[in-house]
Structure 1
Amino acid sequence: MPAKAAAGRGTLRIATWNINSVRLRLPLLSDLVAALDPDVLCLQETKCPDEFFPHEGVEALGFTHRLVRGMKGYNGVAILSKRPILLRGEDPDWCGKGDCRHLGASIDAPGGPIELHNFYIPAGGDIPDREKNLKFGHKLDFVAEATAWSSARPAQRAVMVGDLNIAPLEHDVWSHKQLLDVVSHTPVEVEALGAWQRAGGWHDALRHFVPADQKLYTWWSYRAADWRASDRGRRLDHVWVSPDLAGALSRHVVFKDARGWAKASDHVPVMVELAP
Protein backbone atom coordinates (compact mmCIF):
# COMPACT_ATOMS: atom_id res chain seq x y z
CA MET A 1 0.00 0.00 0.00
CA PRO A 2 1.45 3.40 -0.90
CA ALA A 3 2.41 5.70 1.94
CA LYS A 4 -0.41 8.13 1.11
CA ALA A 5 -3.03 5.35 1.22
CA ALA A 6 -1.65 3.97 4.48
CA ALA A 7 -1.77 7.41 6.05
CA GLY A 8 -5.41 7.79 5.06
CA ARG A 9 -6.87 4.52 6.33
CA GLY A 10 -7.79 5.87 9.75
CA THR A 11 -5.79 3.36 11.80
CA LEU A 12 -2.15 3.13 12.83
CA ARG A 13 -0.10 -0.03 12.39
CA ILE A 14 3.06 -0.16 14.48
CA ALA A 15 5.45 -3.08 14.03
CA THR A 16 8.59 -3.96 15.97
CA TRP A 17 11.40 -6.31 14.96
CA ASN A 18 14.83 -7.18 16.26
CA ILE A 19 16.33 -7.44 12.79
CA ASN A 20 19.80 -8.57 13.94
CA SER A 21 21.66 -6.42 11.34
CA VAL A 22 19.70 -4.09 9.08
CA ARG A 23 22.22 -4.26 6.25
CA LEU A 24 22.39 -8.05 6.26
CA ARG A 25 18.61 -8.44 6.33
CA LEU A 26 17.53 -5.45 4.27
CA PRO A 27 16.00 -7.73 1.58
CA LEU A 28 13.69 -9.24 4.22
CA LEU A 29 12.14 -5.86 4.96
CA SER A 30 10.28 -5.98 1.65
CA ASP A 31 8.76 -9.32 2.69
CA LEU A 32 7.73 -7.85 6.03
CA VAL A 33 6.14 -4.82 4.36
CA ALA A 34 4.30 -7.01 1.87
CA ALA A 35 2.88 -9.16 4.67
CA LEU A 36 2.08 -6.57 7.36
CA ASP A 37 2.02 -3.17 5.63
CA PRO A 38 3.01 -1.24 8.77
CA ASP A 39 2.77 2.54 8.96
CA VAL A 40 5.64 2.55 11.45
CA LEU A 41 8.39 -0.03 11.83
CA CYS A 42 10.68 -0.02 14.86
CA LEU A 43 13.93 -1.97 14.51
CA GLN A 44 16.37 -3.12 17.16
CA GLU A 45 19.90 -4.48 16.91
CA THR A 46 20.50 -2.67 13.63
CA LYS A 47 24.29 -3.03 14.14
CA CYS A 48 24.92 -0.10 11.83
CA PRO A 49 26.54 3.32 12.32
CA ASP A 50 24.20 6.11 11.26
CA GLU A 51 26.33 7.08 8.26
CA PHE A 52 25.96 3.58 6.79
CA PHE A 53 22.25 3.06 7.39
CA PRO A 54 20.60 1.84 4.13
CA HIS A 55 18.31 4.85 3.70
CA GLU A 56 17.81 4.33 -0.03
CA GLY A 57 16.55 0.77 0.36
CA VAL A 58 14.22 1.75 3.19
CA GLU A 59 12.92 4.77 1.28
CA ALA A 60 11.98 2.46 -1.61
CA LEU A 61 9.64 0.61 0.76
CA GLY A 62 7.67 3.79 1.46
CA PHE A 63 9.30 4.82 4.74
CA THR A 64 9.91 8.45 3.89
CA HIS A 65 10.49 9.47 7.52
CA ARG A 66 13.30 7.87 9.49
CA LEU A 67 15.12 8.21 12.79
CA VAL A 68 18.25 6.16 13.38
CA ARG A 69 20.62 5.76 16.30
CA GLY A 70 23.29 3.19 15.60
CA MET A 71 26.83 2.09 16.27
CA LYS A 72 29.29 -0.30 14.71
CA GLY A 73 28.78 -4.01 15.22
CA TYR A 74 26.08 -4.17 17.90
CA ASN A 75 23.00 -2.54 19.44
CA GLY A 76 21.28 0.19 17.41
CA VAL A 77 17.64 1.23 17.00
CA ALA A 78 15.64 2.83 14.21
CA ILE A 79 12.11 4.13 13.64
CA LEU A 80 10.91 3.96 10.03
CA SER A 81 7.63 5.68 9.24
CA LYS A 82 5.24 6.49 6.42
CA ARG A 83 3.86 9.27 8.61
CA PRO A 84 5.66 12.40 9.82
CA ILE A 85 7.75 11.85 12.96
CA LEU A 86 9.69 14.12 15.29
CA LEU A 87 12.60 13.05 17.47
CA ARG A 88 12.14 13.52 21.21
CA GLY A 89 15.20 15.33 22.46
CA GLU A 90 14.70 15.06 26.20
CA ASP A 91 15.00 11.30 26.77
CA PRO A 92 17.79 9.89 28.99
CA ASP A 93 21.19 8.47 28.12
CA TRP A 94 20.52 5.16 29.84
CA CYS A 95 23.15 4.17 32.41
CA GLY A 96 25.34 6.92 30.91
CA LYS A 97 26.64 4.52 28.27
CA GLY A 98 25.49 6.17 25.03
CA ASP A 99 24.98 2.70 23.61
CA CYS A 100 22.11 3.32 21.17
CA ARG A 101 19.35 1.38 22.91
CA HIS A 102 16.44 3.81 22.73
CA LEU A 103 14.68 6.22 20.40
CA GLY A 104 11.71 8.35 21.39
CA ALA A 105 9.54 10.11 18.83
CA SER A 106 6.23 11.82 18.24
CA ILE A 107 4.20 10.19 15.44
CA ASP A 108 1.52 11.92 13.41
CA ALA A 109 -1.56 9.72 13.86
CA PRO A 110 -5.34 9.77 13.46
CA GLY A 111 -6.76 11.64 16.43
CA GLY A 112 -3.51 13.46 17.18
CA PRO A 113 0.18 12.76 17.84
CA ILE A 114 1.28 9.59 19.61
CA GLU A 115 4.43 9.36 21.68
CA LEU A 116 6.43 6.32 20.57
CA HIS A 117 9.39 4.69 22.31
CA ASN A 118 11.58 2.00 20.76
CA PHE A 119 13.78 0.10 23.25
CA TYR A 120 16.48 -2.54 23.01
CA ILE A 121 17.15 -3.73 26.56
CA PRO A 122 20.51 -5.40 27.34
CA ALA A 123 20.36 -9.17 27.02
CA GLY A 124 22.18 -9.66 30.32
CA GLY A 125 24.69 -12.38 29.54
CA ASP A 126 24.41 -15.96 30.76
CA ILE A 127 24.77 -15.80 34.56
CA PRO A 128 21.83 -14.32 36.51
CA ASP A 129 24.00 -12.75 39.19
CA ARG A 130 25.00 -9.08 39.10
CA GLU A 131 28.10 -9.73 41.22
CA LYS A 132 29.44 -12.42 38.90
CA ASN A 133 28.13 -10.92 35.65
CA LEU A 134 28.39 -7.20 34.92
CA LYS A 135 26.09 -7.58 31.91
CA PHE A 136 23.29 -8.80 34.15
CA GLY A 137 23.85 -5.87 36.48
CA HIS A 138 23.68 -3.49 33.52
CA LYS A 139 20.38 -5.02 32.45
CA LEU A 140 18.83 -4.59 35.90
CA ASP A 141 20.18 -1.06 36.21
CA PHE A 142 18.77 -0.14 32.80
CA VAL A 143 15.31 -1.41 33.70
CA ALA A 144 15.47 0.35 37.09
CA GLU A 145 16.27 3.65 35.35
CA ALA A 146 13.42 3.10 32.90
CA THR A 147 11.10 2.38 35.82
CA ALA A 148 12.01 5.63 37.58
CA TRP A 149 11.62 7.52 34.30
CA SER A 150 8.15 6.02 33.72
CA SER A 151 7.12 6.71 37.30
CA ALA A 152 7.92 10.40 36.86
CA ARG A 153 5.87 10.69 33.67
CA PRO A 154 2.90 8.27 33.49
CA ALA A 155 2.14 7.25 29.91
CA GLN A 156 -0.53 9.17 28.01
CA ARG A 157 -1.36 8.59 24.36
CA ALA A 158 1.85 6.60 24.11
CA VAL A 159 3.17 3.33 22.70
CA MET A 160 6.31 1.54 23.82
CA VAL A 161 7.80 -1.29 21.74
CA GLY A 162 10.96 -3.26 21.48
CA ASP A 163 13.11 -6.20 22.36
CA LEU A 164 12.96 -6.05 26.15
CA ASN A 165 14.86 -9.34 26.53
CA ILE A 166 12.55 -10.47 29.33
CA ALA A 167 9.74 -13.02 29.05
CA PRO A 168 7.64 -12.14 32.10
CA LEU A 169 4.73 -14.58 32.21
CA GLU A 170 4.63 -18.33 32.78
CA HIS A 171 3.36 -18.97 29.26
CA ASP A 172 5.79 -16.52 27.67
CA VAL A 173 8.36 -19.34 27.75
CA TRP A 174 8.30 -22.95 26.62
CA SER A 175 9.00 -24.22 30.16
CA HIS A 176 8.47 -21.99 33.17
CA LYS A 177 10.15 -24.41 35.60
CA GLN A 178 13.20 -25.08 33.44
CA LEU A 179 13.82 -21.41 32.66
CA LEU A 180 13.46 -19.94 36.15
CA ASP A 181 17.24 -19.72 36.47
CA VAL A 182 17.87 -18.78 32.84
CA VAL A 183 18.49 -15.11 32.01
CA SER A 184 15.33 -13.56 30.51
CA HIS A 185 12.88 -15.39 32.80
CA THR A 186 14.44 -15.20 36.27
CA PRO A 187 12.22 -13.90 39.08
CA VAL A 188 14.35 -10.77 39.58
CA GLU A 189 13.99 -9.82 35.91
CA VAL A 190 10.28 -10.60 35.84
CA GLU A 191 9.69 -8.44 38.91
CA ALA A 192 11.80 -5.63 37.44
CA LEU A 193 9.83 -5.62 34.20
CA GLY A 194 6.55 -5.73 36.10
CA ALA A 195 7.62 -2.74 38.18
CA TRP A 196 8.43 -0.81 35.01
CA GLN A 197 5.05 -1.66 33.50
CA ARG A 198 3.19 -0.65 36.65
CA ALA A 199 5.19 2.57 37.07
CA GLY A 200 4.02 3.90 33.73
CA GLY A 201 0.57 2.36 33.86
CA TRP A 202 1.41 0.50 30.66
CA HIS A 203 -1.05 -1.97 29.13
CA ASP A 204 0.38 -5.17 27.58
CA ALA A 205 -0.95 -4.96 24.01
CA LEU A 206 -0.13 -8.54 22.99
CA ARG A 207 -1.76 -10.06 26.06
CA HIS A 208 -4.73 -7.79 25.35
CA PHE A 209 -5.45 -10.22 22.50
CA VAL A 210 -3.87 -13.46 23.77
CA PRO A 211 -4.94 -14.61 27.27
CA ALA A 212 -2.17 -15.12 29.80
CA ASP A 213 -2.83 -18.86 29.99
CA GLN A 214 -1.96 -19.33 26.30
CA LYS A 215 1.57 -19.77 24.95
CA LEU A 216 2.96 -16.73 23.15
CA TYR A 217 6.50 -16.51 21.75
CA THR A 218 8.42 -14.04 19.56
CA TRP A 219 11.92 -15.57 19.68
CA TRP A 220 13.34 -19.00 18.88
CA SER A 221 17.02 -19.80 19.38
CA TYR A 222 19.37 -20.41 16.46
CA ARG A 223 20.63 -23.43 18.41
CA ALA A 224 17.51 -25.49 17.69
CA ALA A 225 17.99 -27.80 14.72
CA ASP A 226 14.27 -27.57 13.97
CA TRP A 227 12.92 -24.53 15.78
CA ARG A 228 9.34 -25.08 14.60
CA ALA A 229 9.18 -28.71 15.72
CA SER A 230 10.77 -28.10 19.12
CA ASP A 231 8.92 -24.78 19.58
CA ARG A 232 11.10 -23.77 22.52
CA GLY A 233 10.33 -20.09 22.28
CA ARG A 234 10.19 -17.05 24.52
CA ARG A 235 8.25 -13.77 24.30
CA LEU A 236 11.07 -11.23 24.39
CA ASP A 237 9.47 -8.64 22.10
CA HIS A 238 6.76 -6.44 23.51
CA VAL A 239 4.25 -3.73 22.71
CA TRP A 240 2.83 -1.66 25.56
CA VAL A 241 0.29 1.12 25.22
CA SER A 242 -0.90 3.79 27.63
CA PRO A 243 -4.27 3.09 29.28
CA ASP A 244 -6.00 5.70 27.15
CA LEU A 245 -5.05 3.73 24.02
CA ALA A 246 -5.98 0.28 25.29
CA GLY A 247 -9.49 0.61 23.92
CA ALA A 248 -8.08 1.61 20.53
CA LEU A 249 -6.31 -1.72 20.01
CA SER A 250 -8.00 -3.50 17.11
CA ARG A 251 -5.59 -6.21 15.90
CA HIS A 252 -2.25 -7.85 16.52
CA VAL A 253 0.11 -10.04 14.51
CA VAL A 254 3.00 -12.19 15.70
CA PHE A 255 4.54 -13.01 12.33
CA LYS A 256 5.92 -16.45 13.16
CA ASP A 257 6.53 -17.40 9.52
CA ALA A 258 9.37 -14.87 9.41
CA ARG A 259 11.45 -17.14 11.63
CA GLY A 260 11.55 -19.58 8.70
CA TRP A 261 12.87 -17.08 6.17
CA ALA A 262 16.32 -17.63 4.66
CA LYS A 263 18.88 -15.75 6.79
CA ALA A 264 16.15 -15.09 9.37
CA SER A 265 16.54 -13.19 12.58
CA ASP A 266 15.94 -15.27 15.70
CA HIS A 267 13.17 -12.78 16.56
CA VAL A 268 9.99 -12.36 14.53
CA PRO A 269 8.15 -9.13 13.74
CA VAL A 270 5.24 -8.16 15.98
CA MET A 271 2.57 -5.64 15.02
CA VAL A 272 -0.45 -3.99 16.60
CA GLU A 273 -3.09 -1.91 14.87
CA LEU A 274 -4.83 0.92 16.67
CA ALA A 275 -7.81 3.10 15.82
CA PRO A 276 -6.71 6.05 17.94
Structure 2
Amino acid sequence: MEIFHWNPRRPLFAGRIGNRIRVRSRVNNFGDLLGPIIVARILDQSGHDRTNCGRSGGKLLSVGSVLQFAEDGDIIWGTGRNGNNPVSQHRFSDLDVRAVRGPLTREFLMSTFGIQSPEVYGDPALLLPLLFPELLSISKAKTSEYAVVPNLHDIPRYSSHPAFISPLADVSSVIQAIARAEFVAGSSLHAIIVADALGIPCRLFRSDIENRLKYDDYFLGSGRDIQDVGDDYDSAVRMGPHQRLAWDPQPLLSSFPYECFR
Protein backbone atom coordinates (compact mmCIF):
# COMPACT_ATOMS: atom_id res chain seq x y z
CA MET A 1 0.00 0.00 0.00
CA GLU A 2 1.32 3.41 -0.94
CA ILE A 3 1.63 5.90 1.92
CA PHE A 4 0.74 8.99 -0.05
CA HIS A 5 2.38 12.36 0.40
CA TRP A 6 2.47 15.45 -1.78
CA ASN A 7 5.96 16.26 -3.03
CA PRO A 8 5.95 17.10 -6.75
CA ARG A 9 8.89 18.19 -8.82
CA ARG A 10 9.14 21.81 -9.90
CA PRO A 11 11.44 23.77 -12.25
CA LEU A 12 14.79 24.82 -10.88
CA PHE A 13 14.20 28.32 -12.28
CA ALA A 14 11.06 30.37 -12.73
CA GLY A 15 9.68 31.46 -16.09
CA ARG A 16 10.49 30.27 -19.59
CA ILE A 17 14.02 29.15 -18.76
CA GLY A 18 12.77 26.87 -16.02
CA ASN A 19 10.14 25.35 -18.28
CA ARG A 20 12.76 24.53 -20.91
CA ILE A 21 15.11 22.80 -18.49
CA ARG A 22 14.01 19.24 -17.86
CA VAL A 23 15.73 18.89 -14.51
CA ARG A 24 13.26 19.28 -11.67
CA SER A 25 13.73 19.40 -7.90
CA ARG A 26 11.30 18.21 -5.26
CA VAL A 27 9.33 20.82 -3.32
CA ASN A 28 10.14 19.17 0.06
CA ASN A 29 7.65 21.16 2.12
CA PHE A 30 8.17 19.77 5.63
CA GLY A 31 4.48 19.47 6.53
CA ASP A 32 3.74 17.43 3.44
CA LEU A 33 6.54 14.98 4.27
CA LEU A 34 5.24 14.09 7.73
CA GLY A 35 2.65 11.49 6.71
CA PRO A 36 5.00 8.59 5.86
CA ILE A 37 7.19 9.41 8.88
CA ILE A 38 4.24 9.24 11.27
CA VAL A 39 2.75 6.12 9.70
CA ALA A 40 6.12 4.33 9.84
CA ARG A 41 6.57 5.15 13.52
CA ILE A 42 3.05 3.94 14.39
CA LEU A 43 3.67 0.66 12.60
CA ASP A 44 7.08 0.21 14.22
CA GLN A 45 5.76 0.88 17.71
CA SER A 46 2.80 -1.47 17.23
CA GLY A 47 4.97 -4.29 15.89
CA HIS A 48 3.50 -4.24 12.40
CA ASP A 49 5.68 -4.77 9.34
CA ARG A 50 5.40 -1.68 7.17
CA THR A 51 6.96 -3.58 4.26
CA ASN A 52 4.32 -6.33 4.43
CA CYS A 53 0.93 -4.94 3.48
CA GLY A 54 -2.15 -7.02 4.14
CA ARG A 55 -4.15 -5.14 1.54
CA SER A 56 -3.47 -5.02 -2.17
CA GLY A 57 -4.00 -1.82 -4.10
CA GLY A 58 -5.05 1.61 -3.00
CA LYS A 59 -3.18 4.10 -0.91
CA LEU A 60 -3.32 5.60 2.55
CA LEU A 61 -3.73 9.38 2.75
CA SER A 62 -2.83 10.92 6.09
CA VAL A 63 -1.15 14.28 6.76
CA GLY A 64 -1.94 17.14 4.42
CA SER A 65 -4.65 18.99 2.52
CA VAL A 66 -4.53 16.28 -0.11
CA LEU A 67 -8.09 14.97 -0.32
CA GLN A 68 -8.17 15.92 -4.01
CA PHE A 69 -5.62 13.17 -4.71
CA ALA A 70 -7.83 10.40 -3.29
CA GLU A 71 -9.21 7.71 -5.58
CA ASP A 72 -11.88 5.08 -5.09
CA GLY A 73 -10.82 2.49 -2.55
CA ASP A 74 -8.25 4.68 -0.80
CA ILE A 75 -8.08 4.97 3.00
CA ILE A 76 -8.42 8.42 4.58
CA TRP A 77 -6.84 8.89 8.00
CA GLY A 78 -6.59 12.48 9.23
CA THR A 79 -6.56 14.04 5.77
CA GLY A 80 -8.08 17.46 5.07
CA ARG A 81 -9.65 19.27 2.18
CA ASN A 82 -7.84 22.16 0.49
CA GLY A 83 -10.24 25.03 -0.11
CA ASN A 84 -8.23 26.13 -3.14
CA ASN A 85 -9.32 23.01 -5.01
CA PRO A 86 -12.83 23.03 -6.54
CA VAL A 87 -15.24 20.14 -6.20
CA SER A 88 -14.50 19.08 -9.78
CA GLN A 89 -10.94 18.11 -8.82
CA HIS A 90 -12.23 15.47 -6.39
CA ARG A 91 -12.73 12.38 -8.54
CA PHE A 92 -13.90 9.67 -6.18
CA SER A 93 -17.16 8.14 -5.04
CA ASP A 94 -16.10 5.43 -2.59
CA LEU A 95 -13.50 5.99 0.13
CA ASP A 96 -12.66 4.13 3.34
CA VAL A 97 -12.70 7.03 5.79
CA ARG A 98 -11.24 6.33 9.24
CA ALA A 99 -10.68 9.94 10.38
CA VAL A 100 -10.44 13.41 8.88
CA ARG A 101 -8.68 16.58 9.95
CA GLY A 102 -11.85 18.39 10.94
CA PRO A 103 -15.63 18.70 10.59
CA LEU A 104 -15.44 20.85 7.46
CA THR A 105 -13.78 17.99 5.59
CA ARG A 106 -16.30 15.52 7.01
CA GLU A 107 -19.23 17.67 5.93
CA PHE A 108 -17.74 18.00 2.44
CA LEU A 109 -17.42 14.23 2.06
CA MET A 110 -20.89 13.49 3.37
CA SER A 111 -22.93 16.27 1.76
CA THR A 112 -21.16 16.41 -1.62
CA PHE A 113 -20.34 12.74 -2.21
CA GLY A 114 -22.51 10.85 0.27
CA ILE A 115 -19.41 9.21 1.75
CA GLN A 116 -19.82 8.19 5.37
CA SER A 117 -17.20 9.66 7.65
CA PRO A 118 -16.94 9.05 11.41
CA GLU A 119 -16.68 11.96 13.81
CA VAL A 120 -13.01 11.25 14.45
CA TYR A 121 -10.92 14.36 13.99
CA GLY A 122 -7.31 15.45 14.15
CA ASP A 123 -4.28 16.07 12.01
CA PRO A 124 -1.88 13.14 12.55
CA ALA A 125 0.98 15.62 13.08
CA LEU A 126 -0.57 16.26 16.49
CA LEU A 127 0.70 12.80 17.45
CA LEU A 128 4.37 13.76 17.06
CA PRO A 129 5.12 14.15 20.81
CA LEU A 130 3.57 10.73 21.50
CA LEU A 131 5.48 9.06 18.71
CA PHE A 132 8.73 10.98 19.20
CA PRO A 133 8.84 11.85 22.94
CA GLU A 134 12.35 13.24 22.57
CA LEU A 135 10.71 16.32 21.05
CA LEU A 136 9.36 17.21 24.49
CA SER A 137 12.89 17.25 25.90
CA ILE A 138 14.13 19.34 22.99
CA SER A 139 11.28 21.78 23.55
CA LYS A 140 12.40 22.40 27.14
CA ALA A 141 15.74 23.80 25.96
CA LYS A 142 14.64 27.07 24.39
CA THR A 143 17.16 28.80 22.16
CA SER A 144 15.04 31.47 20.47
CA GLU A 145 12.27 33.85 21.45
CA TYR A 146 10.37 33.60 18.17
CA ALA A 147 10.05 31.33 15.15
CA VAL A 148 8.50 32.61 11.93
CA VAL A 149 7.41 29.80 9.62
CA PRO A 150 5.47 30.89 6.53
CA ASN A 151 3.58 28.71 4.11
CA LEU A 152 5.85 27.80 1.23
CA HIS A 153 4.01 30.29 -1.02
CA ASP A 154 4.64 33.09 1.49
CA ILE A 155 8.40 32.54 1.79
CA PRO A 156 9.43 35.62 -0.26
CA ARG A 157 7.51 37.87 2.13
CA TYR A 158 9.24 36.59 5.28
CA SER A 159 12.58 35.13 4.21
CA SER A 160 14.50 38.21 5.43
CA HIS A 161 12.99 38.10 8.92
CA PRO A 162 15.63 37.33 11.57
CA ALA A 163 13.46 34.56 13.06
CA PHE A 164 12.60 33.01 9.68
CA ILE A 165 12.54 29.22 9.43
CA SER A 166 12.16 27.82 5.94
CA PRO A 167 9.43 25.16 5.67
CA LEU A 168 11.52 23.69 2.84
CA ALA A 169 14.46 22.83 5.10
CA ASP A 170 15.14 19.34 6.43
CA VAL A 171 12.09 17.99 8.27
CA SER A 172 13.92 17.26 11.51
CA SER A 173 15.63 20.66 11.61
CA VAL A 174 12.33 22.50 11.03
CA ILE A 175 10.56 20.61 13.80
CA GLN A 176 13.44 21.11 16.23
CA ALA A 177 13.64 24.83 15.45
CA ILE A 178 9.92 25.14 16.19
CA ALA A 179 10.34 23.12 19.38
CA ARG A 180 13.10 25.41 20.65
CA ALA A 181 11.13 28.64 20.13
CA GLU A 182 9.18 30.34 22.89
CA PHE A 183 6.52 31.63 20.47
CA VAL A 184 5.68 30.45 16.94
CA ALA A 185 3.98 32.59 14.31
CA GLY A 186 3.31 31.40 10.81
CA SER A 187 1.08 30.82 7.84
CA SER A 188 2.42 27.26 7.64
CA LEU A 189 -0.41 25.15 9.02
CA HIS A 190 1.94 22.42 10.20
CA ALA A 191 4.20 24.85 11.99
CA ILE A 192 1.16 25.81 14.07
CA ILE A 193 0.17 22.16 14.50
CA VAL A 194 3.65 21.17 15.72
CA ALA A 195 3.68 24.11 18.13
CA ASP A 196 0.23 23.20 19.41
CA ALA A 197 1.23 19.57 19.91
CA LEU A 198 4.27 20.63 21.96
CA GLY A 199 2.30 23.17 24.01
CA ILE A 200 4.19 26.14 22.54
CA PRO A 201 2.25 29.44 22.35
CA CYS A 202 1.52 30.21 18.72
CA ARG A 203 -0.57 32.36 16.38
CA LEU A 204 -1.46 31.91 12.76
CA PHE A 205 -1.02 34.81 10.37
CA ARG A 206 -2.80 35.17 7.06
CA SER A 207 -1.41 33.55 3.93
CA ASP A 208 -1.30 35.47 0.68
CA ILE A 209 -2.28 32.33 -1.24
CA GLU A 210 -3.87 29.68 0.96
CA ASN A 211 -7.62 29.43 1.52
CA ARG A 212 -8.77 29.74 5.13
CA LEU A 213 -10.72 26.47 5.03
CA LYS A 214 -7.85 24.17 6.01
CA TYR A 215 -6.91 26.34 8.99
CA ASP A 216 -10.51 26.60 10.21
CA ASP A 217 -10.98 22.86 9.70
CA TYR A 218 -7.92 22.18 11.84
CA PHE A 219 -9.00 24.42 14.71
CA LEU A 220 -12.50 22.91 14.78
CA GLY A 221 -11.07 19.41 14.59
CA SER A 222 -8.73 20.03 17.51
CA GLY A 223 -11.51 20.97 19.92
CA ARG A 224 -11.60 24.74 19.51
CA ASP A 225 -13.62 27.44 17.84
CA ILE A 226 -12.26 29.05 14.69
CA GLN A 227 -9.43 31.31 15.86
CA ASP A 228 -8.62 34.86 14.81
CA VAL A 229 -5.46 35.22 12.76
CA GLY A 230 -3.01 38.06 12.29
CA ASP A 231 -2.68 39.96 9.04
CA ASP A 232 1.08 39.51 9.27
CA TYR A 233 3.82 38.50 11.68
CA ASP A 234 3.74 41.69 13.76
CA SER A 235 0.00 41.58 14.31
CA ALA A 236 0.15 37.87 15.16
CA VAL A 237 2.69 38.56 17.90
CA ARG A 238 0.58 41.44 19.25
CA MET A 239 -2.50 39.22 19.37
CA GLY A 240 -0.69 36.64 21.48
CA PRO A 241 -1.29 32.89 21.43
CA HIS A 242 -4.32 30.97 20.26
CA GLN A 243 -6.58 29.12 22.63
CA ARG A 244 -4.77 26.05 23.94
CA LEU A 245 -5.24 22.68 22.31
CA ALA A 246 -8.19 20.67 23.68
CA TRP A 247 -7.88 17.33 21.93
CA ASP A 248 -7.71 13.65 22.87
CA PRO A 249 -5.27 11.72 20.63
CA GLN A 250 -6.71 8.29 21.41
CA PRO A 251 -9.63 8.27 18.91
CA LEU A 252 -7.27 9.15 16.06
CA LEU A 253 -4.73 6.51 17.11
CA SER A 254 -7.46 3.89 17.51
CA SER A 255 -8.81 4.64 14.03
CA PHE A 256 -5.50 3.88 12.32
CA PRO A 257 -5.88 1.02 9.79
CA TYR A 258 -3.59 -1.44 11.56
CA GLU A 259 -5.34 -4.38 9.91
CA CYS A 260 -3.98 -3.32 6.53
CA PHE A 261 -0.44 -4.16 7.65
CA ARG A 262 0.60 -7.66 8.71
- Asked if TM exceeds 0.5, the reply is no
Q: Which has the higher strand share?
A: 1
Q: Which has the higher helix share?
A: 2
With the length of structure 1 as denominator, give the TM-score of the two structures.
0.26
